[in-house]
A and B are shown apart, each in its own frame.
Chain A
Amino acid sequence: MFMAGYGGQGVLLAGTLLAQAAIVEEKNVSFLPSYGVEKRGGAAVCTVVISDGDVGSPVVGNPSVAVILNQSSLDKYGPRIKPGGICIVNTSLVDLSGFPRKDLDIIAIEMNAVAREIGDARMVNMVAVGAYAARTGAVSIDALAEALKDTLPERNHRFIPANVRALEAGASLIGKSGQV
Chain B
Amino acid sequence: MAKRLLVRGNEAICMGAIEAGCRYYFGYPITPQNDIPEFMSREMPGLNGEFIQAESEIASINMVLGAAATGARAMTSSSSPGISLKMETISYMAGMEIPCLIVNISRSGPGLGGIDASQGDYFQAVKGGGHGGYHIIVLAPSSIQEMYDLTMLAFDLAEIYRMPAMILGDAVVGQMKEPLIPHPRPHRELPAKDWALRGTEEGGQRVVKSLFLGDGELEAHNWKLFAKYRDLAAKEARWEDYETADATLIATGFGSAARIAKTAVAMAREEGMKVGLLRPITLFPFPAKAFASATEHCKTVLDIELNTGQMVEDVRLSVARDAEVHFYGRPSGTGSLPTPEELLEQIRRYYRN
> A residues engaging B (CB < 8 A)?
16, 19-20, 23, 26, 28-33, 35-37, 54-62, 150
Contacts and interface: CB of A to CB of B under 8 A. Distances in A.
A62 B341 contact: yes
B259 interface: yes
Given A19-B6, A37-B115, A59-B260, A31 B176 contact: yes
Contacts of A33: 175-176
7 contacts: A23-B5, A32-B172, A32-B175, A36-B115, A54-B266, A61-B340, A61-B342
Nearest to B114: A36
Given A20-B6, A61-B342, A56 B178 contact: no
Nearest to B266: A56
B178 A57 contact: no
Contacts of B293: none
B340 A56 contact: yes
Contacts of A20: 6
Given A56-B263, A56-B340, A62-B341, A30 B32 contact: no
A57 B260 contact: yes
Interface of B: 1, 4-6, 31-32, 115, 171-172, 175-179, 259-260, 262-264, 266, 337-342
Contacts of A32: 172, 175-176
Given A31-B178, A33-B175, A35-B171, A59 B6 contact: no
Contacts of B340: 56-57, 59-61
A58 B178 CA distance: 10
Given A31-B176, A59-B337, 8 more contacts: A19-B177, A29-B6, A29-B178, A33-B175, A33-B176, A57-B259, A57-B263, A60-B340
Contact of A57 (B5, B175, B179, B262): B262
A156 B258 CA distance: 38
Contacts of B341: 61-62
A5 to B, nearest CB: 18
B262 A30 contact: no
A162 B321 CA distance: 65
A30 B266 contact: no
Contacts of A26: 1
A62 B178 CA distance: 21
B277 to A, nearest CB: 11
Nearest to A35: B175
B178 A150 contact: no
A133 B103 CA distance: 38
A16 B177 contact: yes
Contact of A59 (B115, B177, B266, B339): B339
B141 to A, nearest CB: 13
Contacts of A54: 266
A3 B302 CA distance: 32
A29 B180 CA distance: 11
Contact of B179 (A29, A35, A58, A62): A29
A22 B31 CA distance: 28
A162 to B, nearest CB: 22
Nearest to A31: B177
Given A31-B176, A32-B175, A61 B6 contact: no
Contact of B339 (A19, A28, A35, A60): A60
Contacts of B178: 19, 29-31, 55, 58
A26 B172 CA distance: 23
Which of A26, A55, A58 gathers most chain B CB within 10 Å?
A58
Nearest to B342: A61
Contacts of A29: 6, 178-179
B171 A23 contact: no
B115 A28 contact: no
B175 A23 contact: no
A82 to B, nearest CB: 10
Given A29-B178, A56-B263, A35 B32 contact: yes
